[in-house]
Amino acid sequence: MDNYLYGYRVHKLDAKSRIAIPSHMRSRLGEEFVASLGLGDFISLYPQDQWEELLNNVQNSKLPTEKKKKISMYLVSSADKVNLDSQGRLLISERLKDKVALAGEKEAVVFGNINHIEIWNKAKFEDQVASISKEEVIDIMDELNGIGI
């Protein structure tokens, strides 16, 4: 099993708000996983272990209590335990769909982002990717190299 999630696919969002999750990403999600608002204009799908790690990191961080409450409220208030149907599709709640501009859309992007999956409005995803310059990526890689990565 791959430990990381990567790549993206454009999939149809059907009339019942279901979207197929690529087969190479399904095994990492597990039987039951968490769907939540992402830290941007997308829905995040977290394998249970990654969701628990995220919440533990927030709770054990050195952030002031008020900031911990805000990030916890943002993440947890939108979270649901979910699973895929027998055809590998996720039913997206109306609440989440409305928050990330998927209402009325016929397609969405399913993006594997290292330890979680993101579901994006296709146009917003394309804009986000296009806004990242090669120079920025090179600068960031230089920073990572400077800290031993």
**pLDDT tens-digit profile of 6-55?**
999 999 999 999 999 999 999 899 999 999 999 889 999 999 999 999 99
CA distances, 33 to each of 28, 90, 128, 130, 131 (Å) = 10, 11, 26, 30, 30
Residue 136 lies in a domain: no
Tokens of 111: 């993006």
What does pTM read for this prediction?
0.90
Q: Give pLDDT, residue 110.
A: 98
Please tell me the predicted confidence (pLDDT) of residue 145: 84
| Number of domains the chain is built from | 1
Q: What is the pLDDT of residue 55?
A: 94
Tokens of 46: 């977290």
Q: Tell me the pLDDT band of 143, cut-offs 50, 70 and 90.
A: confident
Does 14 map to a domain? yes
Residue 149 lies in a domain: no
Closest Cα partner for 78 from 36, 32, 131?
A: 36
Give me the domain span that covers residue 72: 8-122
Tell me which residue of 107, 102, 48 sits closest to 79, measured CA to CA. 48
Measure the CA–CA gap between 121 and 138, rounded to whole angstroms: 27
Does 140 fall in a domain? no
CATH of the domain at 114: 3.40.1550.20
